[in-house]
Chains A and B, each alone.
Chain A
Amino acid sequence: MSLSALTVVPQIPIGDAIEDFFDWLTDNLDGLFDVVSDVIGGAVDGLIAALEAPPALLMALVFALLGLLFKGWKFALGSFVGFVLVISMQQWSAAMQTLALVLVASVIAILIAIPLGIWAARKRGASAVIRPIMDLMQTMPAFVWLVPVVTLFSIGVVPGVIATIIFALPPGVRLTELGIRGVDPEIVEAANAFGATPRQTLFGVQLPLALPTIMAGVNQVIMLALSMAVISGLVGAEGLGGQVTSAIATLDVGLGFEAGLSVVILAIYLDRVTAAIGQGDARTGLARFLPGKKKDTVEEEVVADEAADQPSAEPLSPEELDSTARIHS
């Protein structure tokens, strides 16, 4: 049975076709890939240099202060302790390399994801095309992306960034689309009814109202980028991923855990900070005291509720209240 099945269903050479395609890419678009490679490599190297220039403890303090700004003093203290731990484990340099890779990949992914998401939200056809591509990008085992990327960009940090972008992009697109589609249709209708152009509707209504969802997408992009950045250690990207890879190669349990723990600390820090920024008002952080940010409005709300229902009419007597209520019910 099994033999006959093998002979009946012809073998479709998908693998060959894809290999041919990538060969064609390397042959014909080599120049383009060189440019991309230079730009991304330059960006990552520059960022690493910037992150590693000040003394490690000073940088840890800067990160803690950012935490204080967006989240609060408890989180700031916790993250400072965490980063000091990274320094003490001799993983600081690797952590900064990974952070640079994650930031560059995330920025590029977000710059691609948000316009794609907007397009998908506005055109049903675009959505129908983009959706399966996003599925493919997200569900394909992460390692698989490393192979073609290496053939195009050889080994090093650049293929790591490219693979990370591919892997981290989908939630940015999906949540942008979801956020825009989720905006109250009546509000969009109101914008139309007052004569707004599609552009005015997008920037004045849809994007601002979809912002919390879009920011959740940004948060997801960064988290996925971090997880992929570690895997990209396999293709020679330096950083915590590289440490993990060499720990596997040398069966160094200690190094593996030290690098792993550093990833966890970095991940928690990035997640909490981006989530706090995403919530917009940064309620608990120092950012609420910045000029231009709205102060807490609890007191005003109470006043509003009291004056709310009858700002112009004189108060009705209980009998009047009773009779009007009866008539209308």
Chain B
Amino acid sequence: MNAIEAHSTYKVFAKHPTRAVARLREGASREELRKEGITAAVIDASFNVKEGEIFVVMGLSGSGKSTLIRMVNGLWEPSAGELLVYGEDIVKMNTQQLRQTRREKVSMVFQHFALLPHRTVGANAAYGLDIQGIPKDEQVKRAKEALGLVGLKGWEDSLPGQLSGGMRQRVGLARALAAGTDIMLMDEAFSALDPLIKREMQDQLVELQNKLGKTILFITHDLNEAMRLGDRIAMMRDGKIVQIGTAEQILNDPANDFVAQFVLDVDRTRVLTAKAISTPPVALIGSEQGPRSVHKLMREHQTSRLFVVDRNQKLVGAVDEEAVVAAVEAGHDTLDGILDTSVVSVRQDVHLTDLLGVSADTPKALAVVDDEGRVVGVLARVTLLQALAQRGSKPTAASDQTPAAADADSLLVKGGAR
């Protein structure tokens, strides 16, 4: 189920919003309307946020992203279109229903924290519960839990003014968590923090989201942040959503020049993963196989090195052509003795930035493995360098799969299969 759905939502600030929306639908530009004093903040925005995902809306200031997020909890009423929160249209709600939705379903974290300076950290974290009239002792208990989750245990009695920026935003986060809503809106939540703290908060958010499974709609103007956090990203420009996709989709396949321009500045090494740039193995060898058949395979695929896997397709090691040839000449029946077990394997979700050091340490190709340790790809140094060099264009390794590589599975040879 989708937690949030927007269907062709508009928000214009004008005396006659309906008229302005009609003109936008007829093709009037944002600039035209601006000359008449009408601000078209959000134009024809459609997207959906799946339950339990981090959906990032990325855009520069004035792109309408802040207005967009504020429509989700009804702080701004959409001028046209539908905006569904768990299937219920925000637009059709009366004040009472809207308030109920804000209390029970959607909480929010603000750019400048928006804490109450006269209330303690504990009372700030409990604010949403206080508003709902929940008994005091339960407020204290839930606020404490939430503060514990964000790493602020023991700070309950301090005042916000005594905390650093990063800690204040943790309180903001705790306030949203304590409210117990399934959806959290985060409006440039980390933009006011300095880079080190920002990164720490991003990691913590991802960790919390894994633990609690909240649906998060995150607004940012920082594409690196968007790529780091977002399961999916919506790129906004001039009030319109220009592309929605995963970080890799946006990086490798930008919808237009605007997105491409943006992507240029992205640190690709932090977005692309080992899986995305690796080549699927041309063939894998079962550990019980003999040197002869291995030699045949190597000639077929014109490769000098192959990975060896066990029955469960887990990586055991690799063999080199020279050793195989020597073993064949010596008349050996097994790969014992020629197996190179020093193969370095990396998990498929490791980012490029963390691969560089590993690759520097070993001249040979890396094995890319999945969570169960099964080999899913091969990563040669050359591939890595190519991925780094191709700024803004498609890395060939990920997309141009050769037929042989595409059905690598069929080439998988297991011991005893023949």
A interface, CB within 8 angstroms of B:
184, 186-187, 189-197, 200, 204-205, 208-209, 297, 300-301, 304-305, 308-313, 316, 321, 324-325, 327-329
Contacts and interface: CB of A to CB of B under 8 A. Distances in A.
Contacts of B128: 194-195
Contact of B167 (A193, A301, A311, A316): A311
Give the most central of A304, A305, A324: most B CB within 10 Å.
A304
A192 B101 CA distance: 11
A190 B108 contact: yes
B197 interface: yes
Contacts of A328: 195-196, 198-199, 224
A209 B112 contact: no
A311 B224 CA distance: 24
B167 A194 contact: no
Contacts of A310: 200
Contact of A300 (B102, B127, B158): B158
Given A193-B102, A300-B158, A308 B164 contact: yes
Contacts of A301: 162
Given A308-B167, A324-B196, A186 B131 contact: no
Interface residues on B, range: 35 or more
B164 A190 contact: no
Given A308-B164, A311-B152, A328-B199, A193 B73 contact: yes
B196 A193 contact: no
A200 B101 CA distance: 17
Given A310-B200, A324-B196, A197 B164 contact: no
A209 B118 CA distance: 8
A297 B114 CA distance: 22
Given A186-B112, A193-B102, A209-B117, A324 B199 contact: yes
6 contacts: A197-B99, A205-B116, A209-B118, A309-B167, A313-B200, A328-B195
Contact of A329 (B152, B159, B195, B197): B195
B163 interface: yes
Contacts of A189: 75, 110, 114
Please name the 10 residue pairs, one residue from A and one from B, whose CB atoms are nearest each other, closest first: A308-B164, A195-B103, A328-B195, A190-B114, A195-B102, A312-B151, A193-B108, A194-B128, A186-B114, A195-B99
A88 B185 CA distance: 68
Nearest to A327: B267
Contacts of A329: 195
B204 A194 contact: no
Contact of A196 (B110, B131, B166): B131
B100 interface: yes
A317 B334 CA distance: 48
Interface of B: 73, 75, 99-103, 106-108, 110-112, 114-118, 127-128, 130-132, 151-152, 158-159, 162-164, 166-167, 175, 179, 185, 195-200, 204, 224, 267, 270, 353
B73 A304 contact: no
Contact of A186 (B110, B204, B267): B110
B163 A304 contact: yes
Contacts of B163: 304, 308
A187 B116 contact: yes
Nearest to A187: B114
Contacts of B204: 312
A193 B175 CA distance: 12
B415 to A, nearest CB: 44
A175 B75 CA distance: 28
B341 to A, nearest CB: 31
B195 A324 contact: yes
B270 A327 contact: yes
B222 to A, nearest CB: 9
B108 A304 contact: no
Contacts of B131: 191, 194-196, 200, 204
B227 to A, nearest CB: 12
Nearest to B102: A195
Contacts of A187: 114-116
B176 to A, nearest CB: 9
Nearest to B132: A195
A205 B101 CA distance: 21
A300 B162 contact: yes
